[in-house]
Chains A and B, each alone.
Chain A
């Protein structure tokens, strides 16, 4: 199994500012995923981050708003830029289980509140 940590665990930010969320995995993985979980709703995939290439964004999410870095096989960051209250959400990173199945390990999440 993979152990995933995220920083910060929670933050309260002002409108118009940016927050960078870090995701650290205890083993090397090719793919990392970033999800958003808005209050009372399910998980929505933001983007897939592959080491050595540009992140692939899902419909409705753009790089200018959610830039992602993937400097190595154990680490990734997601920045939420120019935040508004609508960005208040839990942000989760995940990695696939070994063997490349669609099952995933999730990090504990970052709870973001934008005032």
Chain B
């Protein structure tokens, strides 16, 4: 069993929809939770970063972490065609630069 499981997708939504992307994990030592966005033929770019449990909001993006359920989510409000990309969740237990990544969910937002 993988340490990090991510909803596989692909996901296709109309412009303006609310998108929910989710990951579960098994390692209770994870404390750092990240979401990366990867456009086609590009490297991943950091989108959201959360330490421990709780919510974090940045514009149209909200990251949620529920450590009791070992479940994290990324919500995108008012989705735009420019949000079309692969979204990767990542987690780490220490401040040592080693993250475990999910397999990614490919999102397409249709105009």
Which residues in A have some Cβ–Cβ distance to B below 8 Å? 4, 31, 33, 40-45, 48, 92, 94, 96-97, 100-109, 111
Contact = CB atoms under 8 A, between A and B. Distances in A.
What secondary structure prevails in chain B residues at the interface with A? loop
B97 A42 contact: no
Nearest to A106: B43
Size class of the B contact interface (CB-based, 8 Å): 20 to 34
Given A101-B95, A102-B97, A42 B34 contact: no
Given A101-B95, A103-B32, A42 B101 contact: yes
Contacts of A102: 32, 34, 90, 92, 94-99
Given A43-B88, A100-B95, A101-B49, A92 B43 contact: yes
A106 B94 CA distance: 19
Contacts of A44: 101
A102 B99 CA distance: 7
6 contacts: A33-B97, A40-B103, A42-B103, A43-B88, A96-B97, A111-B41
